[in-house]
């Protein structure tokens, strides 16, 4: 397998996360290290499970995608990372 083919393999998130990560597809495309992508995948799956646990809604992927969109918009508006009050 050529290096170019290997680099292009991970251009899209896994099928089960595409809807969730669609709002941050440009950020995803900049993740060139497989370990970074695996970290994002694990965090997204964990958050999906957490949100499903407290909402019980069948549209959890869309709920999470909407939240990512809002946070990305906030980050762009504030010109920096979002700092959650509960984060240490």
- Convert the pLDDT of each residue in 34-61 to its tens digit: 999 999 999 999 999 998 888 888 889 9
Classify 11 as helix, strand or coil.
coil
pTM across the whole model: 0.73
* Cβ neighbours, 10 Å, residue 7: 10
* Cβ neighbours, 10 Å, residue 47: 15
User: In the prediction, which pLDDT does 88 show?
Assistant: 43
Q: Where are the domains of the chain?
A: 3-78
């Amino acid at each position: 397998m050529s290096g170019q083919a290997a680099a292009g393999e991970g251009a899209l998130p896994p099928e089960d996360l595409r809807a969730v990560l669609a709002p941050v597809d440009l950020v995803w495309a900049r993740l060139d290290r497989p370990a970074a992508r695996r970290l994002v995948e694990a965090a997204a799956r964990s958050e999906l499970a957490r949100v499903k646990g407290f909402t019980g809604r069948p549209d959890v992927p869309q709920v999470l995608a909407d939240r990512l969109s809002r946070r990305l918009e906030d980050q762009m508006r504030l010109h920096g990372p979002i700092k959650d009050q509960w984060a240490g």
